[in-house]
Amino acid sequence: MTQTITAMIETHPTEIRYDKQLLEDCLAACVECAQACSSCAEACLSERDVDPLRKCVRANLDCVDVCTTTARVLTRHTGYVAPLTRLVLEACLEACRACADECSAHADMHKHCEVCAGACRRCAEACEKLLASFT
Protein backbone atom coordinates (compact mmCIF):
# COMPACT_ATOMS: atom_id res chain seq x y z
CA MET A 1 0.00 0.00 0.00
CA THR A 2 2.69 2.50 0.99
CA GLN A 3 4.54 1.81 -2.26
CA THR A 4 1.48 2.91 -4.25
CA ILE A 5 0.94 5.97 -2.07
CA THR A 6 4.58 6.98 -2.57
CA ALA A 7 4.39 6.47 -6.34
CA MET A 8 1.22 8.54 -6.64
CA ILE A 9 2.70 11.39 -4.58
CA GLU A 10 5.94 11.35 -6.56
CA THR A 11 4.25 11.28 -9.96
CA HIS A 12 1.61 13.95 -9.28
CA PRO A 13 2.17 16.88 -11.66
CA THR A 14 0.94 19.51 -9.16
CA GLU A 15 3.24 20.95 -6.51
CA ILE A 16 2.54 19.36 -3.14
CA ARG A 17 2.74 22.07 -0.51
CA TYR A 18 3.67 20.00 2.51
CA ASP A 19 6.21 17.39 3.58
CA LYS A 20 5.75 14.40 1.27
CA GLN A 21 6.88 11.85 3.85
CA LEU A 22 4.45 13.18 6.45
CA LEU A 23 1.73 13.16 3.81
CA GLU A 24 2.51 9.55 2.90
CA ASP A 25 2.55 8.52 6.56
CA CYS A 26 -0.77 10.25 7.21
CA LEU A 27 -2.46 8.74 4.16
CA ALA A 28 -1.30 5.25 5.11
CA ALA A 29 -2.39 5.76 8.73
CA CYS A 30 -5.85 6.98 7.65
CA VAL A 31 -6.39 3.97 5.40
CA GLU A 32 -5.14 1.56 8.09
CA CYS A 33 -7.29 3.19 10.75
CA ALA A 34 -10.43 3.11 8.60
CA GLN A 35 -9.91 -0.60 7.97
CA ALA A 36 -9.25 -1.34 11.65
CA CYS A 37 -12.30 0.64 12.78
CA SER A 38 -14.53 -1.03 10.23
CA SER A 39 -13.34 -4.45 11.37
CA CYS A 40 -13.68 -3.52 15.04
CA ALA A 41 -17.25 -2.30 14.57
CA GLU A 42 -18.16 -5.55 12.83
CA ALA A 43 -16.42 -7.58 15.55
CA CYS A 44 -18.25 -5.63 18.27
CA LEU A 45 -21.56 -6.46 16.60
CA SER A 46 -20.58 -10.14 16.61
CA GLU A 47 -19.99 -10.25 20.36
CA ARG A 48 -22.58 -11.99 22.54
CA ASP A 49 -23.31 -8.88 24.61
CA VAL A 50 -23.51 -5.98 22.16
CA ASP A 51 -25.19 -3.49 24.50
CA PRO A 52 -22.01 -2.30 26.27
CA LEU A 53 -20.35 -1.88 22.86
CA ARG A 54 -22.92 0.39 21.20
CA LYS A 55 -20.90 3.56 21.84
CA CYS A 56 -17.77 1.78 20.60
CA VAL A 57 -19.50 0.79 17.35
CA ARG A 58 -20.62 4.39 16.86
CA ALA A 59 -17.11 5.73 17.52
CA ASN A 60 -15.69 3.18 15.09
CA LEU A 61 -18.11 4.06 12.32
CA ASP A 62 -17.56 7.79 12.79
CA CYS A 63 -13.81 7.24 12.65
CA VAL A 64 -14.13 5.16 9.45
CA ASP A 65 -16.02 7.99 7.76
CA VAL A 66 -13.67 10.74 8.91
CA CYS A 67 -10.47 8.78 8.11
CA THR A 68 -11.78 7.88 4.66
CA THR A 69 -12.72 11.48 3.94
CA THR A 70 -9.36 12.70 5.22
CA ALA A 71 -7.48 10.31 2.95
CA ARG A 72 -9.54 11.50 -0.02
CA VAL A 73 -8.91 15.18 0.72
CA LEU A 74 -5.18 14.59 1.29
CA THR A 75 -4.98 12.82 -2.06
CA ARG A 76 -6.19 15.92 -3.94
CA HIS A 77 -3.52 18.50 -4.72
CA THR A 78 -4.98 20.40 -7.65
CA GLY A 79 -6.60 23.60 -6.39
CA TYR A 80 -5.29 22.95 -2.87
CA VAL A 81 -7.33 24.70 -0.16
CA ALA A 82 -5.22 24.94 3.00
CA PRO A 83 -8.01 25.88 5.47
CA LEU A 84 -10.15 22.91 4.39
CA THR A 85 -7.23 20.50 4.61
CA ARG A 86 -6.40 21.76 8.09
CA LEU A 87 -10.02 21.38 9.28
CA VAL A 88 -10.31 17.87 7.88
CA LEU A 89 -7.05 16.84 9.58
CA GLU A 90 -8.24 18.34 12.86
CA ALA A 91 -11.52 16.43 12.58
CA CYS A 92 -9.62 13.22 11.88
CA LEU A 93 -7.36 13.81 14.85
CA GLU A 94 -10.39 14.25 17.13
CA ALA A 95 -12.29 11.26 15.71
CA CYS A 96 -9.24 9.04 16.15
CA ARG A 97 -8.66 10.20 19.73
CA ALA A 98 -12.31 9.62 20.64
CA CYS A 99 -12.33 6.18 19.06
CA ALA A 100 -9.04 5.22 20.70
CA ASP A 101 -10.42 6.26 24.09
CA GLU A 102 -13.63 4.31 23.60
CA CYS A 103 -11.89 1.20 22.27
CA SER A 104 -9.38 1.34 25.14
CA ALA A 105 -12.27 1.11 27.59
CA HIS A 106 -13.11 -2.33 26.13
CA ALA A 107 -9.58 -3.54 25.37
CA ASP A 108 -9.34 -5.78 28.43
CA MET A 109 -12.37 -7.77 27.30
CA HIS A 110 -12.02 -7.52 23.50
CA LYS A 111 -8.67 -7.87 21.73
CA HIS A 112 -10.10 -6.30 18.54
CA CYS A 113 -10.73 -3.10 20.50
CA GLU A 114 -7.10 -3.07 21.67
CA VAL A 115 -5.85 -3.47 18.09
CA CYS A 116 -8.21 -0.75 16.86
CA ALA A 117 -7.19 1.67 19.62
CA GLY A 118 -3.58 1.30 18.49
CA ALA A 119 -4.46 2.08 14.86
CA CYS A 120 -6.44 5.11 15.99
CA ARG A 121 -3.56 6.43 18.08
CA ARG A 122 -1.11 6.01 15.18
CA CYS A 123 -3.49 7.87 12.87
CA ALA A 124 -4.00 10.68 15.37
CA GLU A 125 -0.22 11.02 15.69
CA ALA A 126 0.24 11.09 11.90
CA CYS A 127 -2.45 13.78 11.57
CA GLU A 128 -0.86 15.80 14.35
CA LYS A 129 2.58 15.64 12.70
CA LEU A 130 1.21 16.67 9.31
CA LEU A 131 -0.73 19.54 10.88
CA ALA A 132 2.38 20.73 12.72
CA SER A 133 4.29 20.87 9.44
CA PHE A 134 1.86 23.34 7.85
CA THR A 135 3.19 26.86 7.57
> Where are the domains positioned within the chain?
2-9+18-133
Over the chain, what is the mean pLDDT? 93
114 near 103, Cβ under 8 Å? yes
Q: Which residue has the higher pLDDT, 8 or 32?
A: 32
pLDDT in tens, 39-73: 999 999 999 999 999 999 999 999 999 999 999 99
Do 107 and 113 form a contact (C-beta atoms < 8 A)? yes
The answer to whether residues 69 and 85 touch, using CB atoms and an 8 Å cutoff, is no
Q: Count CB atoms within 10 A of the CB of residue 16.
A: 13
pLDDT of residue 46: 95
**CATH number attached to the domain at 2-9+18-133:** 1.20.1270.360
Q: What's the whole-number mean pLDDT along residues 77-102?
A: 94
Is 120 within 8 Å of 36 (Cβ atoms)? yes
